[in-house]
Structure 1
Amino acid sequence: MTWARIMAPLSGGQGDPPTIAAAVALAEPFGAELACVYTPADVADVMPWMGEGFLGGVQTTALESLKEATAVGEGNARKAAAASGYAKTHFIGLQTPVWAGLSAESRLSDVVVFTSDPARGRGPLAEAFQQMVADEQRPVLVARPGLKVGGVVAVAWDGGKEASRAARLATPILERASRVVILAAPKASSRSFDPNRLKAYYAARGVSADVEVLSDSGDAAPGLLKAAGAAGADILVAGAFGHPRLQEFIFGGTTRTLLGTDGPSLFLSH
């Protein structure tokens, strides 16, 4: 299996260069296209708050300021994308309606790359992260410092739908890993499952994996992070748990801990 298109949402700010660097690190081993997608604040989202007569006075000034900031941000994002030096980089500047455009681009991408800040609800791309995970249910890589393809990959497994989807979609990076370890914490789950079933699934696809059964009960996240760290994992594959509510993705406890704690890069799927 392979990936052909990696997508990196950009804001035009200081977070763009590390996002692009992480996306290049993911795209390069596959020879994949890198789609750098500038995702500005949407004028259409602001206009309803201006009320009637928004074309006059303060409202017009605010609208023009937003347009100017968007143009500056796009210029910064273009420069950051060009500076990557990756030959297969493609820049896309989204226009109103921004969220529809972002959704369309993500649906034709294999993985969407973010850094930790948007994943923790910080900065201008926080809503885009929630949209990708919750609404579009796209595979997302939360890149941490030191991200690399070809190192150790840990797979968190509980036999559930979210974990199963993440485990399947991550197969391309597992095929290139130096070691794959399946982490299972049966005492932290209400369901009965056999991690050797996933090991057999991978073996049928040419991926050799070890199994480590954790003794932790309660919230599985601390045990998973500890085991991933002990294994020297560069990437932790996990299902993202939560519920869309009032257009906000409410993360479950395990997912919140994984996102909020420093550790390996995260490959997530909801």
Structure 2
Amino acid sequence: MTFRSLFIPAIDAKSLAGAVSDAGHLLAGRGVLKAQFTWSDYSPPANMAAAVDLSALAEQQRIGIKRMERELRDSFEASAKDLTAAINAEFLSVCGDFPGSMARSSRMCEAILFRHRGKDKQVGDPATIEEILFHSGRPLFLTPESGIAQTPRSFAVAWNGSKEAARALALAQTMIEGAEKVTFITIGEERDDTPSAEVMAAHLSACGTPADVIRRGPAGKTELVLAETAGEAGADALIVGAYSKSRLREIFLGGVTRAMLESPPLPLFIAH
């Protein structure tokens, strides 16, 4: 499994360094890696008192931005030293709207890579990930806080026959090429007007990738059953489709996908 190019949203130094380390495994020693820090100019609230020194506030913000940029760049460059010379690593600093600017910039790469920051630091992260995922047109590879120690070689696919699941599997084709095994996991009933998990596994096997099926009843929380079953199958990563519902111009992930974003049980490949 290899990616040719990856894009990392630079949010804090620790998760950035971890994502760079993960990229070394996911790029398999060659390719392009880009990380971006996005910042914006100071814009005072309209109701701010006239007596407030806006120039001083703006200067304080500029100092803070420069400090954060330097911290992130240093973290990226230090971590990138451990990558092979065949990986072209670049740190970008862009003035723009967050996270929209990151979503647009990520379109130059094959996928987005994000290292989970842990429960104590991830407040707001699911919403940020949603925005980038839904507006980038690119899939997301999310690794747990502990990261990955090697290139994933075995995969599980959350399959219910939906177009979202089918799209996620299609976008993961280059990733699963040459995989040791792919396991389709179905929980509860599938749609009867689309290929079953067994049909999908047979098709993938015919294409040269060994595949099997595990079925589970609709008992307990779906995300927990998925994670447990993927672990039983020996999967190194789980492929899932992201579901959207537009209301008042807000976009929400389905409950199962959102729960996994908040606490990924294993590396996730998510596509919308």
Report the TM-score, using the length of structure 2 for normalisation. Answer: 0.83
Task: Indicate the residue corresponding to 1:65 in structure 2.
Answer: 60
Shift of 1:89: 0.8
Match of 2:7 in 1: 7
List runs of 5+ in structure 2 lacking aligned partners.
none
Superposed displacement of residue 52, structure 1 = 7.5
Distance in 1, matches of 2:25 and 2:71, equals 21
1:131 aligns with 2:126: no
CA–CA distance in structure 2, aligned partners of residues 172 and 269 of structure 1: 14
1:20 is matched with which residue? Answer: 20
What's the C-alpha RMSD, in Å, of the aligned pairs? 3.0
Give the deviation of 1:202 after TM superposition.
2.4
Q: Does 1:75 align with 2:70?
A: yes
- 1:53 offset after TM fit, Å? 8.3
Amino acid aligned to 2:17: P
C-alpha separation in 2, matches of 1:124 and 1:68: 24
User: Equivalent residue for 2:225?
Assistant: 223
CA deviation after TM superposition for structure 1 residue 204, in Å: 4.9
Query: Are residues 78 and 266 of structure 1, via their aligned partners in 2, closer, same or farther at CA, if it must alter by over 3 Å?
Result: same
Structure 1 residues 152, 120: CA separation in 2 closer, same or farther (over 3 Å shift)? Answer: farther
Residue 27 of structure 2 aligns to a residue in which SS? helix
Counterparts in 2 of 1:185 and 1:17: CA distance versus 1, 3 Å: same
Partner of 1:154: 156
1:24 touches 1:34 (CA, 8 Å); kept in 2? no
> 1:75 deviation in Å?
1.0
Which residue number in structure 2 is paired with residue 199 of structure 1?
201
- Partner secondary structure for residue 28 of structure 2: helix
Tell me, in whole angstroms, the C-alpha distance in 1 between the residues paired with 2:104 and 2:49: 30
* 1:82 counterpart letter in structure 2: E
1: distance between equivalents of 2:161 and 2:198? 11
Which amino acid counterpart does residue 176 of structure 2 have in structure 1?
Answer: L
State the shift of 1:236 in Å.
0.4
Identical pairs, percent: 24
Structure 2: distance between partners of 1:55 and 1:19: 44
Are 1:39 and 2:41 counterparts?
A: no
Structure 2 letter corresponding to 1:171: Q
1: CA distance between counterparts of 2:115 and 2:249?
Answer: 21
**Aligned letter for 1:83?**
A
Alignment match, 1:260: 262
Name which of 158, 170, 192 aligns with 1:168.
170
Secondary structure of 2:109's counterpart equals coil
Task: State the match for 1:96 in structure 2.
Answer: 96
Aligned to 1:163, the other structure's residue is in SS state helix
Contact 1:8–1:23, Cα closer than 8 Å, also in 2: no
Alpha-carbon contact 1:118-1:127 (below 8 Å) kept? no
**Helix, strand or coil for the counterpart of 2:114?**
strand
Per-residue deviation at 1:101?
Answer: 3.6
Distance verdict in 2 for CA 1:38–1:176, change over 3 Å: farther
